Amino acid sequence: MFIVNSSIRLLAALAVATLCSPAVEARGNPEAGATKAAVCTACHGPNGNSVNPEWPNLAGQSAAYVTEQLTIFRAGHRNNAVMWPMAIALTDEDIADLAAYFARQTPNGLEADAATYKAGEALYRGGDRTRNIPSCSACHGPVGLGATSAAYPALRAQHSVYTVKQLLDYQNEQRYRDVNTGEPTKSRNGHMMATIAKRLTEEDMRNLASYIQGLR
């Protein structure tokens, strides 16, 4: 097993700052969010660190991204049988508080698979020009911290199983669909990610997911 050490954390911070316009700061109350997040722990674990690899870690995720996704879930524009019923009752204040809370949490360290780590690193950091695949780091940062103002999510220490599932959903255009009609819906970056995911093989996805899981 392999841990990707973030010795380039300063570089990451500078790169993300360069990629982004001024950050969208959380306006919610993280203390109130901690109380409201109690129900979230059943799936997303204590402090947003999920135990089940099929459910995403939320710890350290940007408030902008959590806000966007909860709003999309609440509107029924991301087809998920678990999250839609949970989000539909949330107020804007609830969403802001939860987003502020999870943004302040620290993700637990996970490990990358040494057998696939190098291939994943090469694609994450350099992309593949022959297939018109951009580097993941261009949007998500060198160590997966994301880009707040553009709502590019943090990826570091995300479960590889979950990451592969999301890439497949993007590839098959299943991630953003109306819960009632099944028709495609729009998101801020959904089309871009679907375009990129269609150029990835399942092996690419597994390699990337393994590397991302080990990012710090």
Helix, strand, coil percent content, the chain, rounded in steps of 5: 50, 5, 45
Comparing C-alpha atoms, which of 153, 156, 169, 151 is closest to residue 205? 169
Residues 61-119: tens digit of each pLDDT: 999 999 999 999 999 999 899 999 999 999 999 999 999 999 999 999 889 998 998 99
In 49-189, which residue ranges form alpha helices assigned H by DSSP? 63-74, 83-87, 92-103, 117-126, 137-140, 160-171
Cβ count near 131 (within 10 Å): 12
Q: Which two tokens stand for residue 168?
A: 């497949």
Q: Using CB atoms within 10 A of its CB, is residue 69 exposed (0-12), middle (13-18) or buried (19+)?
A: buried
Cα(203)–Cα(130) distance, integer angstroms: 17
pLDDT tens-digit profile of 149-204?
888 999 999 999 999 999 999 999 999 999 999 999 988 889 999 999 999 999 99
Class of CATH domain 117-213? mainly alpha
Q: What residue segments make up the domains of the chain, in order of their start? A: 23-103, 117-213
What's the fold here for domain 23-103? Cytochrome Bc1 Complex; Chain D, domain 2 (1.10.760)
Q: Do domains 23-103 and 117-213 have the same CATH topology?
A: yes
